[in-house]
Structure 1
Amino acid sequence: MAIASVRPAAVAGQFYPADDRVLRAQIGEMLSSAVALDEAPMPKALVVPHAGYIYSGPVAATAYASLGALRQQIRRVVLLGPAHRMPVNGFALPAAQAFATPLGEIPIAREDWLVLQERPDVVVDDRPHALEHSLEVQLPFLQLCLDSFELVPLLVGRATPEATGELLEALWGGAETLIVISSDLSHYHPYHQASTCDRATVQQILLMHGGIDHEQACGATAVNGLIPVARRHGLVPRLLDLRNSGDTAGDRSRVVGYASIAFCDPLPDAALRH
C-alpha cells in the first residue's frame, strides 16, 4: 500500500460530539463521575457498551476510568465488536492504516495487520468498518485515557466462539496490550424485563460461563470467545456498572442494556482481608 489510508469518523455528531472541545469536556465529565472500585486491580480486558454517549457513555466511563494507572503502560489495544451494518464471514480487518476521531488519528498496529490478513478467517475490507459504530465510539475514551497506542480493530461476524478465542489468544500480548470487547446487552424490552435479563447475563459472565446468545448481548460471540481465554490466564471478572437506557437518558418502555466488566488478575490475599 503506497499511501496509508485513514478511516474517517463516521458517527461523530451522532453517537458523540463532533467538536473536539465538547467531546473532551463530555468524556472528562463522565470519567470524573465514574466510581472506581476500591483496591481494584488493573484490567487486562474490558467489556464495554457502544451506544450513543447520552445513553451508554456513563457506563462505558466506569470501565475506562479503571485504566488510570495504565495510561503509559498500554501501547496496544485489541478492539473487537459486532458488525451491525454489513454481514461478515469470520472477522473483518480494515485496509485503512489509521482510524480518525475528532481527537486525532490512531495508527493501526502494522505488524499485527500483516499477520492477521494471512489468516483464512480474516478478510481485509474497509466496507464493514465504513459506517460501523461499535468500534468507533470506544476510540475517544481510549484517546483520552491512554497515551500513544496502536490499534488492532476487528469486526466479528459469522464466527464461532472457539475461533474468536483462538484469535484473542494470538493477540493477547503482555502488559502493554489491552483487550476491549464492545457489546451492549438486551435490546428493546420493557425496563423491568430488561433489568432481569441483563442481571442474568452479567451473572453468567461473572461465573465465566459461555453460551451467551445474541438476544442477551449483541457482542455475544466476542464475549463467549473471551471467557475461556480469560479463564486460562487466571483472570477474574468484576462488574463495574450495569444500567440501561431507561436509567440514563431514555424512556422505560423499550430499553437497551449496558454493562462494563473488567477482567483482572486476582486481588492479593492481603487486599482480600481488608
Structure 2
Amino acid sequence: MAGSFYPARPEALASMVDELLADARPKMPGGPTKALVSPHAGFIYSGSTAALGFATLNPATHPISRVVIAGPTHRVGIEGVALPGTDAFATPLGEVPVDTDTVARLVRLRQVRSRPDVHADEHALEVQLPFLQRILDGFVLVPLAVGEIGAEAVAEVLDAVWGGPETLVIISTDLSHYHPYRQARELDRATIDAILACQVPISDRLACGVRPLNGFLTVAARRGLRPALLGMCNSGDTAGDRSRVVGYASVAWHEEVE
C-alpha cells in the first residue's frame, strides 16, 4: 500500500508518522496500554485518529517486543483466520519479522490456516506497521486476517497469543461506511458506546472489522480490560466529502493491576 495509503518514500513516511504522533496527546487513564482498536484507512483520512492510540505507548517504561494485529479481509474471502505464510512484512521503513514460533503453534488450531493470498493485497494490517516501526525499538509480528468466523473462535486465537506486558494486541477496524456525515456520527457514537461496554455482537453494518472486534471484546470482557476512547472522527472531518463518509475511532485498553 506504499504510495497509496501512505507515502512510498521512507523519509516522507517517517516524517508524516512523526508529525501525526507529535500532534497526538491522548490522556490514557490506568496502566500501560495492552490493546488498541485502531482505524486502517489512508493516513490522510484516519492517520490522526490512529496516532492517538499509538501515542499511548511508552516503550521506555513498558517495553513491547511482540505485536498481534487482527484485521478483516477486504479482498479475499476466507472462513477462519489466515496466516501469511511469510517470515516478514515490509514497509518503506524496513522489514518486520513474523513471530514464526507463535505462527507454528497457531496453525494447529482448527480455525487457523496459512493463506498468503488473503494477505497479499490486504491493507488492514499493513497500515498499522509504520506507526509501530517509528515507536518501538524492535518487535515481532503475529498477523491475523480474520474472515467469516464467530466471536468465540476468534477469542480462542487471541487467548492463545495474549502473552504478558511484552505483547500488544491491535484490532484494526473502521466504523460505518458511506452514510451522510450527521447520520454517520450518530451511528458511530452508538457503536463506540457498545465497544466501550464490550457488548457483542456488533453488526457488520456498523464496522468493517467486526469479526476480529467481536472476538476481542469477548476476551476483553473476560479479562476485565478497561477501555478509554481517545478520539473519533470520520472522513468528512479530515479529507473527504461529507455526503458519504467512513467512520474512525481509537480506543486504548489496559489491564487492571492487582
TM bucket (normalised to shorter chain) is over 0.9
1:138-168 Cα offsets, whole Å, 9 max, x none, are 0111111111100000100011001001111
Q: Is the 8 A contact 2:5 2:43 kept in 1?
A: yes
Moved more, 37-46 or 219-228: 37-46
- Asked whether 1:98 is paired with 2:66, we answer no
Give the paired residue count. 258
Corresponding residue for 1:131?
121
Q: What is the CA distance between 1:265 and its match in structure 2?
A: 2.6
Amino acid at match of 2:225: L
1:107-160 Cα offsets, whole Å, 9 max, x none, are 000111111112221120111111100000001111111111000001000110
Runs ≥4 residues deviating over 2 A: 38-41, 68-72, 265-268
Q: What is the CA distance between 1:70 and its match in structure 2?
A: 5.8
Corresponding residue for 1:238?
228
Corresponding residue for 1:220?
210
- TM alignment of 1:49-88, pairs within 5 A: 49-69=39-59, 73-88=63-78
Q: What is the CA distance between 1:228 and its match in structure 2?
A: 2.1
Structure 1 CA distance, aligned partners of 2:60 and 2:70? 20
Q: Is the 8 A contact 2:151 2:218 kept in 1?
A: no
TM-score normalized by structure 1?
0.91
Structure 2 CA distance, aligned partners of 1:69 and 1:78? 16
1:12-43 Cα offsets, whole Å, 9 max, x none, are 00000000000010001100111220655321
Bigger Rg, structure 1 or 2: 1
List alignment gaps of at least 5 residues for structure 2: none
Q: What is the CA distance between 1:72 and its match in structure 2?
A: 6.1
Please, what is the CA RMSD of the aligned residues? 1.4
Q: Is the 8 A contact 1:72 1:147 kept in 2?
A: no
Q: Is the 8 A contact 2:40 2:173 kept in 1?
A: yes
Q: Is the 8 A contact 2:69 2:172 kept in 1?
A: yes
- TM alignment of 1:54-203, pairs within 5 A: 54-69=44-59, 73-203=63-193
Which one of 232, 240, 244 corresponds to residue 250 of structure 1? Answer: 240
Structure 2 CA distance, aligned partners of 1:112 and 1:244? 35
